[in-house]
Structure formats: C-alpha cells, structure tokens
C-alpha cells in the first residue's frame, strides 16, 4: 500500500506541531499554577473577572485600576486593549470548567499557532520543505517562547495572524494580475474570479481587524509588510497591483469591524499614533546610527535580558557556543536567494524583512518607542529565509546530485534544529515547571481566601511574597487571583491599607535567613493581633490602624 | 459540502482533533479535553462550515476559520455578555454563528444553482 503524499505531509506537520505543543506546555505539565511576568496577570484577570461575575466588563475592574486605569487615553476608565483576547480566555475557562488550566492551555495554543500560520503562508509560497523546516525551527524559537513565558500573550497571537494577512494579499494580487491579462474566458468564469478577488480583499481587512483586536502591533507589522510588497511590485512591474475599489473594500472591512466590535479602543489607537500621543508613544531624539546596526543600538531596555539582543542565543541556543550560530550563514544565503530570484513570493518575503528592519528602527524617524517590541516577529521572518537558504545550496552543484544533497541537507537541518535549538527550548521551558517565580499552591490558597472573605474594594499590602519590594510579577498575580487591589509600595497608597498579608513561603523556599528575619521583624507589630487567615506560613491581618503607623 | 462523504483531508482533521483531545485528557484530565473539544466544536466549527460556502482550498478554509473564530466569536460573545449572563452568551454566540453559517451556505447554494455550470 502506498501512502498518499498529502498524508505524509499532514503526518509530518502534525509531528512538528505536536512536538511544539509538547515543549510549549512543559510549564503546565505537573503544575497548572500561574506564570508570566509584567502584564501577564492583567491578561488573566479581565476574562477571569468576566467569568466570576458572569458579565462582560467595559471598565477596568477596581483591583487593577491603579495600574491600568487611564491607559486608554480616549476613554480613561475603559479597558485599555480591545476585549477579544480576554474574552477568548474566559470562554476557554468556562468550557474547560477550571479556572487555571484552560486559560494556560489556550494561551499555549495561541502562542504556538505561529508554527501553523507560518506553514500556511510558506507552503503556499515555496512548497512543503521550506515550510516544514521553517515551522520546525519556529517551534523552538527563543523569541517566541520567551514572549510566551513573559506573558505578552495578545501580542503573540496578533503577530501569528500576519502570515494569514500576507497570504490574502498575495493571493489577491495574484488573481488581480491574472484578471488583467487579456485571456479569452467565459463571462461566468471572469465573474467567479472577481468574486474570489473580493473575498481575498475582504479577508485581508478582516484578518487585520483580528490583529487589531489582539494587539495593534501585529496589524502595523502586517500593514508595513503589505505596503513594501505593493511598492516592490510597482517597481518591478511598473503598474499598480490592485484595484482601488477592492482596496477600499479591504480597508472598509478593517475600519467597520474594528469600530463595531472594539469601539472604545479605536480612539486610543489613533491617539497612540499621533506625535506625543499615548502611553507608549514617548518620542526620542533621532538616532541615525541605528540604521547601520542590528541589535547594538537597540539594546537599551532595562526590562529585557542581554540575550534578547544577541543573534546566536535568540536563534540558536541560550547556552551559546559555536553551533548556536549555525543558522546565520543560511539566513544570509536565504536573503541572497530572494534578491536573485525576485518572483512575487520572494518580493513578499523581502517586503516582510524590510518592514521588520524599518519597524524596529522607528525612533530614527522620531516615531514612538516601541521598536524593541517589534523584535517579537524577527523569527517569523528569519526562519523561512533560513530554510530557503538551506534549500538553495543544491543549486550551486551539479544537477545529478541535487536530490541526494537536498535530502542530506534537510537531515542535517533537522538534527541541528533539534539538538541546538530544541534542546535549549526544552531546558528553558522545563525549567519553568517548578520555578519559584510561579505562584505556589499556598499562595493560591491565600489569594482564594482573600477573594472569598474580604470586601471587593479592600486594599491589601503584601509583605514577603517574592519581589514584594518592587511590586514584582508574583504580587501582581496575588492581586488578580484574589481579585483585590494589592498596594504598590510607593509610600502613598499604604494609608488606605485594609489588610496585611504576611508571606514567608518564598523566603523559606529560598532558605534565606535574612529574608525570613526581615518578614519576622515586620510581623512583630502584629504580635497582639489575631490573624484572620493563618495557613502554610501565610497570615492575613486586618490593618486596624496598626499599619502604616508602625511600618 | 457533504459530510456523509468526508474528504481525505477532513478525515485527517477529525483524527487530529480526536488525538489532541485524547492527549489533553492524558496530560490534564477532563479539563484539558473539555477545553480542546469545546474550543473546536463550539467556536471553530461554525466558521469552518461557513467558509465551506466559498471556493477555498482546505488549508485556506482551516486558516481562515481559525482567524475568524478567535476574532469574531469573542466579539459577539463579549457584547452579548452585556444583555445576558456571560456563560449563556457563549452558547448563544455559538448558536448564532452556526445559524449564520447555515444561512451563508444556503445563499451560496442558491446562487450556484442559478448560475449555469
């Protein structure tokens, strides 16, 4: 019995995606308690709050209003991002019948879906092997799994839709070019082709709207790549590759859907784009040197680790070493192959690469300060080029060796991808399984008690949870799990403290005597008070004027 | 679209869904399987049916139905959640999208019948 070639392809893709999912869900295997830094907890809480109140949420809930209230410049009390990602999370929680696991499962699915959307585009442009190899590498992409671990989840899904938007545009311009050729055809057939073109134009607008719902950056990246693609086609063919009427349909779809389903967030987005506008749009003086640098001039964000701005660690192995550079020559060859061939599919990839280059250097043009965050899609552009570079190698040799050489190169690629990139990804993601940066079962228990036993607008001061001194991620997670406002240690809000949470668990887990003693000393002031909650080395006291006077 | 005679790709898709649900059950128990099956059947399937009305390839149909599901399904659920309980809104949104898919399929079937082949 012979297997159909499509069956082999589906089986290989399934193998790649299941391996990706296995590695990406390592943090959830054996521990479903929350992880994620910075804004991760906020992406959990809106959906969680919707489900617990069984109602949609329009305004920022009290417990996070001190952090996110006012971030929507157009409607300061309203949600700062469109609600679609958080609603998806709430739906998953409801369908899964659990508060934590379905949320993190859907996040893992959404963050890793780039492996499939990239396959979809690259398969259509260059065939199975470039798509498969590129997707294999994407499954181990440090850029992508780090964003997943840090918790920039909506942004990740938004960027994952870029290949689909670009696919729609590619198919649209292809069918538009075919329709302009003077070929005899049935009137009915022409009508069908026109309808198909309208469908691609409309879908392009709809996918962009989807990107806007999750994070505008993905939409900007897709529009940037689209503009360069159109520009390159105009330069190559000396004619406009679209009809203005079709373009109006696509843009109309984007605007109508965005305004209809995220009406309170469109204004915020527009204000962000304006000079000096928005919270993320602080402009910086032009830095022209960045035009000639890739990472060196960009690594200026104290919130990002150094490896984020090195090629070998982000596209090879976090352990470094010579082998971690193995993709770089292939990337150079891939770019060279694009420049030499210049068919529409190569121009699309070049456009994507050019948009990446420009969007990661926006400050040069005095626009915003979000260029660093645009690095999130570097692997999405690089990895197909690396695969193309590899598969271009046989073209340098005699024809009779092509297929054997190609098979050998593919085998070497797969081995290196697994041994170098895969091993690094596995180590990092498995290391998160029982990391101290995650909420412990004791802390989750205390947060659940606070949710059930304190008033909704209670203000809680946390002393002891890891990073409490600078309001780090775990304290934010405690707040959203308790659905209560956890006070920032800025010396002002402490006046309104209703409850004090004393948490020894992290200090004990670290066996750090100094840390334990500092908490003990702080707790002394409650020596005559009775703890309302006292379990597993976590205690909750009513403030009763004991704090901040003695703090 | 005739589900009594699934295509080669559709058989694979059903198999993959069953495999994903089984693996989720194995790793995370009922909550894992419920999440995968719930997401697939309640909010991805209506869009997959809807895109069946257009002349799209199977991979296009899957990709577009994923995009539409993650963007359009929560959009409707969210706004319904202001006029009814959120958990009810999820089911009502699903019913509405299934109904929308049925209407679009019927309209396109009529158009195709009218058009000379």
ipTM confidence score:
0.94
Chain B residues with CB under 8 Å of A116 CB are 63, 66
Cα A89 to Cα A107: distance, rounded to the nearest angstrom? 8
Which one of A95, A162, A193, A213 makes the best mutation probe of the B interface by having the most chain B beta carbons within 10 Å? Answer: A95
* Position B3 in a domain: no
At residue A494, the pLDDT reads: 63
**Between A96, A113, A167, which is nearest B38 by CB?**
A96
The A residues from 222 to 281 touching B (CB cutoff 8 Å) are 261-262
Contact call for residues A314 and A147 (beta carbons, < 8 A): no
Cα A243 to Cα A84: distance, rounded to the nearest angstrom? 31
In the block, residue with structure tokens 């991760």: A40
* Position B47 in a domain: yes
Q: Please report how the helices A142-150 and A153-160 are oriented relative to each other, as an axis angle in degrees rounded to 10.
A: 140
Are A317 and A464 part of one and the same domain? Answer: no
Are A155 and A171 part of one and the same domain? Answer: no
* Position B2 in a domain: no
Are A104 and A166 part of one and the same domain? Answer: no
Are A401 and A493 part of one and the same domain? Answer: no
At residue B38, the pLDDT reads: 95
Contact of B91 with chain A, judged by CB distance below 8 Å, is answered with no
At residue B106, the pLDDT reads: 93
Are A474 and A415 part of one and the same domain? Answer: no
At residue A426, the pLDDT reads: 97
* Position A550 in a domain: no
Q: What is the tally of structural domains in chain A?
A: 3
Are A329 and A447 part of one and the same domain? Answer: no
Strand partners, A503: A538
- Inter-chain residue contact B70 with A110, CB threshold 8 Å: yes
Contact of A101 with chain B, judged by CB distance below 8 Å, is answered with yes
Segment (H or E) for A106: helix A101-112
At residue A260, the pLDDT reads: 95
Tens of pLDDT, residues B94-110: 999 999 999 999 998 88
Cα A229 to Cα A241: distance, rounded to the nearest angstrom? 10
- Inter-chain residue contact A97 with B31, CB threshold 8 Å: yes
Contact of B39 with chain A, judged by CB distance below 8 Å, is answered with yes
C-alpha distance from residue A507 to each of A299, A466, A515, A539 (Å): 33, 8, 6, 14
- Inter-chain residue contact B73 with A88, CB threshold 8 Å: yes
Cα A471 to Cα A486: distance, rounded to the nearest angstrom? 9
- Inter-chain residue contact A101 with B115, CB threshold 8 Å: no
Collapsed DSSP state (helix, strand, coil) of residue A435 = coil
Q: Which two tokens stand for residue B31?
A: 């909550």
Average pLDDT, chain B: 91
* Position A436 in a domain: no
The A residues from 69 to 88 touching B (CB cutoff 8 Å) are 83-85, 87-88
Q: Which two tokens stand for residue A385?
A: 């080029």
Cα A156 to Cα A532: distance, rounded to the nearest angstrom? 41
Query: Mean of the pLDDT values across residues B20-31?
Result: 95
**Between B8, B68, B80, which is nearest A6 by CB?**
B8
Cα A113 to Cα A95: distance, rounded to the nearest angstrom? 20
Q: Which two tokens stand for residue A285?
A: 């003086």
Contact call for residues A157 and A116 (beta carbons, < 8 A): no
What does the CA dihedral A27, A32, A36, A39 come to, rounded to 10 degrees?
A: 150
Q: What is the tally of structural domains in chain B?
A: 1
Containing structural domain, residue A465: 441-542
Chain B residues with CB under 8 Å of A78 CB are none
* Position A55 in a domain: yes
Are A74 and A173 part of one and the same domain? Answer: no
The whole-angstrom distance between A374's CA and the closest CA on chain B is: 21
- Inter-chain residue contact B82 with A164, CB threshold 8 Å: no
The whole-angstrom distance between A187's CA and the closest CA on chain B is: 11
At residue B116, the pLDDT reads: 59
Q: Give A26-89 as a DSSP string.
A: GGGTT--S----TTHHHHHHHHHHHHHHTS---BPPHHHHHHHTT-SSSSTTB-SS-SHHHHHH
Are A289 and A423 part of one and the same domain? Answer: yes
Which one of A12, A58, A96, A199 makes the best mutation probe of the B interface by having the most chain B beta carbons within 10 Å? Answer: A96
- How would you write the pLDDT of chain A (551 residues) with one tens digit per residue? 566 778 899 999 999 999 999 999 999 998 999 999 878 999 999 999 999 999 999 999 999 998 888 888 888 899 999 999 999 999 999 999 999 999 999 999 999 999 999 999 999 999 999 999 999 999 999 999 999 999 999 999 999 999 999 999 999 999 999 888 766 667 777 788 888 899 999 999 999 999 999 999 999 999 999 999 999 999 999 999 999 999 999 999 999 999 999 999 998 888 877 766 554 445 556 677 778 888 866 655 667 788 888 999 999 999 999 999 999 999 999 999 999 988 999 999 999 999 999 998 887 777 766 678 899 999 999 999 999 999 999 887 777 778 889 999 999 999 999 999 999 999 999 999 989 999 999 999 999 999 999 999 999 999 999 988 877 889 999 999 999 999 876 555 566 789 999 999 999 999 999 999 999 999 998 888 899 999 999 999 998 765 654 44
At residue A146, the pLDDT reads: 94
* Dihedral angle sign, alpha carbons of residues A401, A406, A407, A409: positive
Domain boundary among A244, A273, A302: A273
Cα A211 to Cα B71: distance, rounded to the nearest angstrom? 8
* Position A551 in a domain: no
**Between B35, B42, B55, which is nearest A102 by CB?**
B35
Are A331 and A411 part of one and the same domain? Answer: yes
Tens of pLDDT, residues A292-309: 888 866 655 667 788 888
Are A254 and A299 part of one and the same domain? Answer: no
Cα A76 to Cα A68: distance, rounded to the nearest angstrom? 9
Are A91 and A75 part of one and the same domain? Answer: yes
* Position A547 in a domain: no
Contact call for residues A398 and A406 (beta carbons, < 8 A): no
Contact of A56 with chain B, judged by CB distance below 8 Å, is answered with yes
Segment (H or E) for A267: helix A266-273
- Per residue, the 3-state secondary structure of A147-205, as one string, reads HHHHCCHHHHHHHHCHHHHHHHHHHHHHHHHHHHCCCCCCHHHHHHHHHHHHHHHHHHH
Are A101 and A132 part of one and the same domain? Answer: yes
Cα A73 to Cα A87: distance, rounded to the nearest angstrom? 22
Chain B residues with CB under 8 Å of A95 CB are 34-35, 38-39, 42, 90
Containing structural domain, residue B14: 8-114
The whole-angstrom distance between A212's CA and the closest CA on chain B is: 9
The whole-angstrom distance between A88's CA and the closest CA on chain B is: 6
Pick left, alpha or beta for residue A536 (phi over 0 → left; psi -120 to 50 → alpha; otherwise beta).
left
């Amino acid at each position: 019995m012979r297997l159909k070639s499509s069956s082999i392809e589906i089986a290989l893709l399934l193998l790649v995606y299941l391996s990706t999912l296995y590695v990406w869900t390592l943090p959830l295997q054996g521990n479903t308690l929350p992880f994620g830094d910075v804004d991760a907890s906020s992406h959990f809480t809106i959906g969680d709050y919707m489900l617990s109140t069984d109602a949609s949420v329009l305004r920022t809930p009290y417990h996070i209003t001190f952090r996110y209230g006012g971030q929507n410049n157009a409607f300061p009390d309203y949600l700062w991002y469109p609600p679609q990602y958080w609603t998806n999370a709430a739906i998953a929680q409801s369908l899964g019948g659990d508060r934590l696991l379905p949320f993190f499962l859907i996040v893992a699915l959404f963050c890793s879906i780039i492996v499939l959307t990239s396959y979809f585009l690259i398969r259509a442009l260059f065939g199975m092997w470039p798509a498969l190899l590129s997707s294999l590498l994407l499954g181990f992409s440090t850029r992508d799994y780090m964003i997943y671990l840090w918790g920039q989840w909506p942004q990740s899904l938004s960027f994952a839709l870029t290949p689909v938007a670009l696919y729609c545009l590619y198919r649209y311009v292809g069918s538009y070019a075919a329709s302009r050729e003077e070929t005899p055809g049935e009137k009915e057939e022409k009508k069908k082709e026109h309808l198909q073109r309208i469908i691609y134009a409309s879908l392009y607008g709809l996918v962009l709207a989807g990107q806007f719902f999750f994070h505008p950056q993905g939409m900007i990246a897709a529009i940037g790549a689209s503009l360069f693609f159109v520009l390159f086609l105009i330069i190559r063919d000396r004619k406009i590759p679209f009809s203005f009427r079709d373009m109006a349909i696509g843009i109309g779809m984007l605007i109508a859907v965005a305004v209809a389903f995220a009406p309170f967030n469109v204004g915020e987005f527009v204000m962000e784009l304006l000079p000096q506008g928005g919270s993320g749009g602080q402009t910086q003086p032009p830095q022209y040197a960045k035009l000639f640098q890739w990472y060196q001039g960009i690594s200026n964000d104290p919130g990002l680790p150094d490896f984020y701005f090195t090629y070998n660690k982000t596209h090879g192995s976090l352990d470094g070493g010579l082998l971690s550079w193995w993709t770089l020559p292939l990337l150079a060859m891939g770019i060279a192959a694009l420049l030499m061939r210049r068919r529409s599919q190569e121009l699309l990839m070049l456009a994507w690469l050019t948009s990446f280059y420009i969007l990661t250097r926006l400050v040069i043009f005095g626009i915003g300060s979000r260029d660093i965050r645009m690095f999130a899609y570097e692997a999405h552009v690089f990895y197909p080029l690396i695969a193309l570079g590899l598969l271009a190698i046989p073209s340098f040799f005699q024809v009779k060796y092509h297929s054997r050489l190609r098979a050998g190169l593919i085998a070497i690629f797969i081995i290196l991808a697994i041994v170098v990139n895969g091993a690094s990804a596995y180590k990092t993601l498995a290391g998160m399984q029982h990391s101290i940066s995650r909420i412990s079962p004791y802390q989750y228990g205390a947060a659940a008690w606070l949710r059930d036993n304190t008033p909704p607008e209670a203000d809680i001061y946390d002393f002891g949870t890891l990073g409490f001194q600078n309001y780090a991620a775990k304290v934010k997670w405690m707040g959203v799990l308790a659905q209560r406002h956890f006070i920032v240690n800025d010396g002002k809000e402490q006046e309104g403290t209703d409850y004090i949470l004393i948490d020894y668990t992290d200090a004990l887990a670290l066996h750090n005597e100094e840390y334990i003693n500092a908490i003990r000393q702080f707790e002394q002031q409650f020596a005559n008070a009775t703890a309302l909650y006292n379990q597993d080395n976590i205690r909750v006291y009513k403030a009763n004027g004991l704090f901040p006077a003695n703090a | 679209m005739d589900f009594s005679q699934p295509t080669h790709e559709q058989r694979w898709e059903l198999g993959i869904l069953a495999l994903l649900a089984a693996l989720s059950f194995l790793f995370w128990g009922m909550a894992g399987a419920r999440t995968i099956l719930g997401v697939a059947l309640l909010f991805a399937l209506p869009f997959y049916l809807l895109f069946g009305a257009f002349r799209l390839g199977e991979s296009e149909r899957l990709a577009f139905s994923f995009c539409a599901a993650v963007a359009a399904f929560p959009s409707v659920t969210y706004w319904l959640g202001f006029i009814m309980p959120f958990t009810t809104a999820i089911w009502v949104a699903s019913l509405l999208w299934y109904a929308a898919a049925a209407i679009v399929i019927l309209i396109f079937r009529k158009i195709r019948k009218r058009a000379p082949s």
